Amino acid sequence: MPQAKVISEVFGDVVPLGEQNATVRHDADHRFVKIHVIPVSPTEARFRVAAEAAYRVFEIVFASVGLIVALPLMLATAIVIRLDSPGPVLFFHIRPARSVRVRGRDLEGRTDLIPPPGGYDRDALYYAPSYFKLIKFRTMYRDAQARFPECYYSAYARENFRSTFAHTQNDPRVTRVGRVLRKLSVDELPNLWSVVVGDMRLVGPRPEATEVLQYYTPEEMIKFTIKPGITGLAQVSGRKLLNWGDTLALDLEYVRTRSVALDMKIILLTIKRVMTMHGAL
């Protein structure tokens, strides 16, 4: 990625965690994580091209202006991170992107996917997972996994997944500066670049770690039929205070009811939540 090289020259080394469209693997035992594939509905509404194009222009302008305005803050943040703990300023991580439409005949033989009951129709379209590199400011110690292995993903009990919280208070992996950045949501500012290049939207389900996709039912994979966002319905409804089940329910509600009006409401509420630090850990 050329942009990664440019960023690296300004902020320092980055953490390489794989390439785009990399195969998802289980962190604990390196077996493939199997993910459900869902069919594309023949009655699925098509996007209104003109409205979608106009909204895309708005997102690019909004994110570009945001990056320019926030540049002094981001430069200061980079310096503080460097002074606080050794390691790169930026953190790159593979996250689920919007699923891609693929013919059944091109999915046959994929061992990382779970086909629909009855298998694939060779000529039908299916939503298959895809991935992108999420960029954030580093908020954890560079050697956090070696220092705190007990804090890392091993495996959820499937029946307990939805009652589990993705974030915990007083996480020992988070640096002193990282705690402040998370409280103020400054660590997410580089996400604006992902909006500019088209990997993310301003509003949409937040892209979580790829490991949790194995716990999604086929019906819940509908969440990935739209692009992930910097903020979303779950973020303005409780953010990190929500468990996986609450977050997933709100993400699915957003997919079913999304509109420009709802997006504008979520953006305004996000500004309010960030200013009050509601739900930040």
Encode pLDDT of 183-242 as tens digits: 999 999 999 999 999 999 999 999 988 888 989 999 999 999 999 999 999 999 987 789
Whether residue 258 is predicted with pLDDT greater than 80 in this model: the reply is yes
What number is the average pLDDT over the span 87-97?
95
- Partners of 94 in the beta sheet? 133
Band (3; pLDDT cuts 50, 70, 90):
very low
Alpha helix ranges (H) inside the chain: 2-11, 49-84, 144-147, 176-184, 191-197, 244-257, 260-276
Band (43; pLDDT cuts 50, 70, 90):
low
Band (6; pLDDT cuts 50, 70, 90):
very low
Phi, psi of 162 (to 5 degrees): -70, -20
Whether residue 7 is predicted with pLDDT greater than 50 in this model: the reply is no
Q: What percent of the chain has pLDDT over 70?
A: 83
| Domain ranges within the chain, ordered by starting residue | 2-201
Band (49; pLDDT cuts 50, 70, 90):
confident
User: CA-to-CA distance for 98 and 153, rounded, in angstroms?
Assistant: 23
- Closest by alpha carbon to 233, among 197, 216, 257? 257
Least confident of 30-34, 54-58, 133-137: 30-34
- Partners of 113 in the beta sheet? 35
Residue 278 is predicted with a pLDDT of 63
More confident residue, 14 or 252: 252
What number is the average pLDDT over the span 13-37?
47
What number is the average pLDDT over the span 1-26?
35
Residue 239 is predicted with a pLDDT of 77
Phi, psi of 212 (to 5 degrees): -80, -10
For residue 208, give the amino acid letter. E
Residue 13 is predicted with a pLDDT of 35
Q: Evaluate whether 130 touches 100 at the Cβ level (below 8 Å).
A: yes
Tokens of 62: 């909004």
DSSP 8-state assignment for residue 93 = E
Whether residue 67 is predicted with pLDDT greater than 80 in this model: the reply is yes
User: CA-to-CA distance for 79 and 208, rounded, in angstroms?
Assistant: 27
Q: Evaluate whether 84 touches 187 at the Cβ level (below 8 Å).
A: no
Alpha-carbon distance values, 165 to 7, 25, 151, 202 (Å): 32, 22, 13, 24
Residue 130 is predicted with a pLDDT of 94
Give SS3 for 112.
Answer: coil
Mean pLDDT, rounded, of the chain: 84
CA dihedral 140, 141, 147, 149 (to 10 degrees): 30
Size of the chain in residues: 281
Q: Evaluate whether 186 touches 73 at the Cβ level (below 8 Å).
A: yes
